[in-house]
């Protein structure tokens, strides 16, 4: 099948993605426009490392075909900090030890940002539920949960 061009707004900028039609949004972001902050842990929707915001909602970019984002707005980890200032969620992850190897961190941060956008005062259970699709093998989750609590507090 011939390659195609997909138009999408990515981190506030208009992009033309030149991609094979069966390749995923994850591959288009990483390999076509070099936004490697979005990670691949499984490619099958089971780990959450590839989480991005699609029109404001968290999705697994490995499960979205690149042509599906035509005309849509995509926010990746590269679009979360503004003007060199960390988002409160990012800041809390750094300060509270919410990351170790950091491979799950971009996805975790985006899931947490999406949660706090919807629900600025989440309970611990709501936080754990919101990140239940993001696997982390290093931290045991405790400090990630604390970081999101601290970020929620700070954003209030």
Partner 1 sequence: MTTTQIPTGIPTRTPEADVTVPTRTVIGQRVPKIEGTEKVTGKAQYGADTSRPNMLWARFLGSAHAHARIVSIDTAAARALPGVHAVVTGADLPGIVARISETAAAPEEFDVPSRGKRILAWRKAVFHHEPVAVAAAISPTIAEEALALITVEYEPLPVVLDPEVSMRREATPIHDGVFTETFAGKARTPSNVAKVTEMSKGDVDAALASADVRIAASFRTAMVHQGYIEPQACLAEYAPDGRFSIWTSTQGSFGVRSGLAGFLKVPPRRVRVTASEVGGGFGAKGAMTLEPICAVLAYVTGRPVKMQLSRSDVLRATRPAPDTSMHVEVGARRDGTLVAARAHFVWDVGAYPGGGSVGGINCSFGSYAIQDYHYVGYDVLTNRPSTGAYRAPNGPQGAYGVESALDMLADELGMSPVALRLKNAVAEGDRNPSDVPYPRIGLKETLNAIASHPAWTSPKSPPSREGWLRGRGVGCGLWGGGVGTSTAHININEDGSAVVVTGAVDLAGTRTTMAQIAAEELQIPYERVQVVQADTDVAPFSNPTGGSRITYSLGTAVYRAAIDARTQLRQRAATVLRCPPDDVEYRGGELWSTLAPAHRLTIGQVARGSSGSGQGPVVGTGEVTHLLRAPAFATQLVEVEVDPETGAVVVTNVVAAQDVGKAINPTAVEGQIQGGVVQGLGWALTEGFVYDNEGRLRNPGLLDYRMPTALDAPNVECLLVEVPAVDGPYGVRGVGEVPIVPTLGAVANAVYDACGARVTTLPISGEPILTALADPARGKSSVAWTPPALSLDIDVVIEEEVEEQEEVIE
Sites for ligand FES among residues 14-73 (CB under 6 A): 40-43, 45-50, 60, 62
Residue 38 touches which of partner 1, ligand FES, none (Cβ within 5-8 Å per kind) = partner 1
Interface residue with partner 1, options 17, 64, 74, 136 (CB under 8 A): 136
Percent helix, strand, coil in the chain (nearest 5)? 40, 20, 40
Q: Compute the distance between CA of residue 52 and CA of residue 36 in angstroms, rounded to an integer.
A: 12
Which tokens hold the place of 102?
């950091």
Residue 69 touches which of ligand FES, partner 1, none (Cβ within 5-8 Å per kind) = none
Q: Compute the distance between CA of residue 50 and CA of residue 62 in angstroms, rounded to an integer.
A: 6
Taking alpha carbons only, the member of 24, 21, 15 closest to residue 2 is 21
| Contact positions vs partner 1 (CB under 8 A) | 20, 22-23, 27, 30-31, 34-44, 46-47, 49, 76-78, 80-81, 86, 90-91, 93-97, 99-106, 109, 127-129, 131-145
């Amino acid at each position: 099948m011939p390659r195609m061009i997909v138009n999408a707004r990515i981190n506030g900028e208009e992009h033309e993605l030149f991609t094979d039609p069966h390749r995923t949004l994850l591959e288009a972001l990483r390999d076509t426009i070099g936004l490697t902050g979005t990670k691949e842990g499984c490619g099958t929707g089971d780990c959450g490392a590839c989480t991005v915001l699609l029109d404001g909602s968290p999705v697994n970019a490995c499960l979205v075909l690149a042509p599906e984002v035509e005309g849509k707005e995509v926010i990746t980890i590269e679009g979360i900090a503004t003007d060199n200032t960390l988002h409160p969620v990012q800041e809390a992850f750094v300060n509270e030890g919410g990351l170790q190897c950091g491979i799950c961190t971009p996805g975790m941060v985006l899931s947490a940002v999406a949660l706090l956008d919807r629900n600025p005062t989440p309970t611990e259970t709501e936080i754990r539920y919101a990140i239940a699709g993001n696997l982390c093998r290093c931290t045991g989750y405790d400090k990630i949960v604390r970081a999101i609590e601290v970020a929620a507090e700070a954003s209030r």
